Amino acid sequence: MNIYTFKLSKRKIVAAVLVVAAILAAIILLVPDRPGAQAASTSGGLKIKTESDCVAYAATLGYQVQPQAADVRKVSIPTEFDDIYNRYNDIQKDCGFDLSQYCGKGVTLYTFSVVNYSGQDGVLLDLLVYKNQVIGGAVYTAAIDGFMHGLMTNPTV
């Protein structure tokens, strides 16, 4: 049987604490917060800074959209969801997004006309962008008998 002993000095203890603190700091700085992590995973790491970036993102999902947005505006995610917003967020969750992580946040809403949606005219695509990441969106028509689905739910184009 071997017995190993070692003596801890104050210097070694302080050095060990500093090493552990440095490792924890590196983990905190290198691992993004939860909303950013989900957005990066669902947007494929694309940074959305311009309308052209939105067009490129839509193309990765199989949607061809007009190069100019039909509308760009700032909107706020509600701090509490009502029934309608809960149903909308369920659509987002089906596609890997979750807007509840952004309650009370101001986001940019980009709306584009889809030009390659099979058998439908007047189809629109919305992208919700927060800190240069897509956090949600939908494909829909404004017609009375229209439809709405998530970005990745039914990319039949």
- Rounded-to-integer distance, Cα 102 and Cα 16, Å: 38
| Token digits of residue 83 | 């029934």
Does pTM top 0.75 for this prediction? no
Q: Regarding predicted confidence, which is higher, 144 or 27?
A: 144
Residue 90 and residue 124 in contact, taking contact as beta carbons nearer than 8 Å: no
pLDDT for the residue 115? 92
- Output the pLDDT for position 143: 84
Separation of alpha carbons 6 and 4, rounded Å: 7
Question: How far is residue 18 CA from its own chain's centroid?
Answer: 35
Mean pLDDT score of the chain: 81
List pLDDT tens digits, range 55-101: 999 999 999 999 999 999 999 999 999 999 999 999 999 999 999 99
Higher per-residue pLDDT: 76 or 155:
76
- First-to-last alpha carbon distance for the chain, in angstroms, is 72
Residues 77 and 104 sit within 8 Å (Cβ to Cβ): yes
